[in-house]
């Protein structure tokens, strides 16, 4: 609808033969206040000064010249805003088109891009904790949105499977490992081993030296240590995959830090030869003399002792993604504290002559009820699996209270969908840079801005169709909107095609969450004001089409957020 109005408005500008600035295109946006219309344009306000005209005078000329083809009626508000009110006939035509459109009005992005999304990235031998929620859930949603918009997306889980912690884990594997515990809960046992040895290192220089030697042996290719390392990685991946399966999160590749080891030495040598890096006190560094923000913040790519750092691995990873996946864009869904690191990496990459569009999609923190970083009583990070289990258990209790006749099997299945959906929506409904308080009661409420409210809305829509004993055949050619509730719902349905393409502008899935909430509210208002089953003929057909499209948009919108919609609640 916005495109149609913009085309008509720009055609009017052309017809008036006004000397507008080169490249200027009139823009139309959804109206902030529906009392004045459905859409509005501030074109006259923007152009008036450069044209030496009064804004309201220019707006009047535009309205007199514009050909809206029956799609809308236009009027002027205030000093020169142009308001558009879509006609009821046009809403019907839009609904008819959407009924046969699998994409629900969402155009494919042009041009399509090759996008690598780097997200989640937990460390091997450590359980995922609450801090991984944001990267994992935001990254999966953004990847789904990009795929739906037609981009070719590679989802890469750049796990931390190399580094100093493995010296401790290997020593602990050889000395304090509990084989039975490893078999029953491998990630928990590997974490215990790491913590035990880490504590011993703090007490004994000898133990610390032994761990360093185990790490050197690993990096040198010692077969025994490599075998332990591979076993740790495999066990960790198995544990992580169980969580990803519950979250309905998937990856195309799990190329961790170790995957790029063979690239690091040649990378640094190449940077030295090209002058991108130079020696400083024995270390090899990249300096950013021509960048005001980074002038005093060089990054080290090889330590004086010959060791490599995260920066080195990240630069090698970018090379690989450009060479192997022809990446046009690389998105890093990583917390805000890593901002400086990515500024350095992106700038160093450009100094080396590579030009993928690189984005650090940062986010804030999850807080407990005390508004401090969410921790256990002992001060440890809250494990992600515990969060998911708690969410499902609480959802199960709510469902049992609402539907005591529901069988255990069905309740368990629905509780998993509702509980995990609630955790995801609590995350995705926030602006990603917002620090938010993790509240069980709020996120699992059937009313308010929650996933259960949206899921319940979907169930309520579908209950209408279940009550139609003879089924129904929807007729796109027999629509007639007459009531305010029908107009309001039609407006929200059509806006799905306007909202989705905007989500990647600033990587804000919360805009989709907000839209779905508005759609659900419009549906409930429609449902109360416009009887569906008691209506007949053309009216019932129109209202059933509105219900069907509401159902489809809710399912697709929730799916883009990685949230399922149950058939019952």
CATH architecture of 2-86: 2-Layer Sandwich (3.30)
Q: How far is CA 285 from CA 276, 279, 315, 355, 401, in A?
A: 9, 6, 13, 21, 62
Rounded to whole angstroms, how far apart are CA atoms 465 and 547?
Answer: 9
- Pick from 489, 501, 499, 491: which is nearest to 543 by CA? 489
**431 contacts: CB under 8 Å, gap ≥ 6:** 508, 510
Higher-pLDDT residue of 127 and 419 is 419
Cα gap 412→566, rounded to integer Å = 12
Summarize pLDDT for 157-206 with one digit per residue, the tens. Answer: 999 999 888 999 999 999 999 999 999 999 899 999 999 999 999 999 99
* DSSP symbols for 107-134: PPPSS--EEEEE---PBTTS--BTTHHH
Q: Specify the DSSP class assigned to residue 260.
A: G
| pLDDT for res 442 | 81
Q: Are 519 and 554 in contact (CB under 8 A)?
A: yes
pLDDT tens by residue, 220-243: 899 999 999 999 999 999 999 999
Domain ranges of the chain: 2-86, 165-247, 428-560
On the question of pLDDT at 377 being above 70, the answer is no
Contact 126, 191 (CB under 8 A): yes
- CA pair distance 250, 219, nearest whole angstrom: 30
203: burial class by Cβ within 10 Å (0-12, 13-18, 19+)? Answer: exposed
Place of tokens 């002038």: 295
Q: How far apart are CA 383 and CA 385, in angstroms?
A: 6
For the sheet containing 299-302, what is the strand order? 278-280, 283-286, 299-302
pTM for this prediction? 0.93
- Whether domain 428-560 has CATH 2.60.120.620: the reply is no
Asked, as a colleague might, if the bond just before 508 is cis with ω within 30 of 0, I would say no
β 114-118/278-280 pair status: unpaired
Residue 114: φ, ψ to 5°? -90, 115
Task: Place 438 in a pLDDT band, splitting at 50, 70 and 90.
Answer: confident
């Amino acid at each position: 609808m916005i495109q149609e109005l913009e085309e008509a408005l720009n055609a009017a500008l052309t017809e008036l033969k006004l000397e507008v600035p080169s490249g200027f295109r009139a823009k139309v946006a959804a109206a902030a206040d529906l009392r004045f219309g459905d859409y509005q344009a501030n074109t006259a306000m923007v152009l008036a000064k450069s044209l030496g005209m009064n804004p309201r005078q220019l707006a009047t000329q535009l309205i007199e010249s514009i050909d809206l083809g029956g799609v809308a009626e236009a009027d002027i508000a205030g000093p020169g805003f142009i308001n558009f009110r879509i006609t009821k006939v046009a809403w019907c035509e839009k609904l008819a088109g959407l009924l046969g459109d699998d994409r629900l009005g969402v155009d494919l992005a042009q041009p399509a891009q090759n996008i690598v999304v780097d997200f989640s990235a937990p460390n091997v031998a450590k359980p995922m904790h609450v801090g991984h929620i944001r990267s994992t859930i935001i990254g999966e949603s953004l990847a789904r949105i990009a795929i739906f918009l037609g981009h070719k997306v590679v989802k890469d889980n750049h796990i931390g499977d190399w580094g100093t912690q493995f010296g401790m884990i290997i020593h602990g594997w050889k000395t304090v490992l509990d084989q039975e515990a490893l078999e029953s809960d491998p990630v928990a046992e590997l974490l215990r081993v790491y913590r035990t040895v880490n504590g011993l290192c703090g007490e004994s220089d000898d133990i610390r030296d032994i761990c360093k030697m185990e790490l050197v042996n690993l990096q040198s290719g010692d077969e025994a240590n490599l075998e332990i390392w591979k076993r740790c990685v495999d066990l960790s991946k198995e544990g992580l995959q169980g969580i990803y399966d519950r979250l309905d999160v998937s990856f195309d590749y799990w190329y961790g830090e170790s995957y790029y080891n063979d690239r690091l030495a040649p990378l640094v040598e190449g940077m030295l030869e090209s002058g991108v890096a130079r020696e400083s006190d024995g270390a090899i560094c990249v300096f950013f003399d021509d960048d005001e923000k980074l002038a005093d913040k060089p990054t080290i790519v090889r330590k004086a002792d010959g060791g490599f750092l995260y920066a080195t691995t990240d630069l090698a990873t970018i090379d690989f993604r450009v060479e192997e996946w022809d990446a046009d864009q690389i998105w890093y869904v990583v917390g805000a504290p890593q901002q400086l690191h990515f500024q350095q990496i992106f700038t160093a990459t450009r100094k080396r002559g590579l030009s993928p569009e690189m984005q650090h999609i940062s986010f804030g923190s999850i807080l407990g009820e005390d508004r401090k970083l969410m921790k256990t009583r002992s001060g440890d990070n809250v494990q992600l699996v515990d969060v998911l289990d708690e969410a499902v258990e609480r959802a199960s209790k709510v469902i049992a209270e609402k539907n005591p006749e529901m069988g255990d099997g069905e309740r368990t299945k629905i509780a998993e969908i509702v509980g995990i959906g609630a955790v995801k929506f609590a995350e995705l409904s926030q602006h990603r840079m917002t620090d938010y308080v993790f509240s069980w009661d709020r996120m699992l409420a059937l009313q308010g801005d929650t996933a259960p409210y949206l899921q319940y809305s979907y169930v309520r829509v579908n209950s209408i169709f279940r009550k139609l004993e003879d089924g129904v055949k929807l007729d796109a050619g027999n629509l007639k909107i007459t009531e305010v509730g029908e107009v309001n719902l039609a407006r929200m349905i059509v806006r799905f095609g306007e909202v989705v393409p905007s989500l990647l502008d600033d990587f804000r899935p919360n805009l989709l969450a907000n839209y779905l909430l508005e759609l659900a509210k419009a549906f409930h208002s429609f449902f109360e004001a416009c009887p569906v089953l008691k209506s007949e003929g053309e009216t019932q057909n129109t209202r059933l089409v509105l219900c069907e499209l509401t159902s489809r948009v809710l399912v697709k919108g929730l799916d883009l957020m990685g949230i399922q919609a149950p058939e019952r609640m």
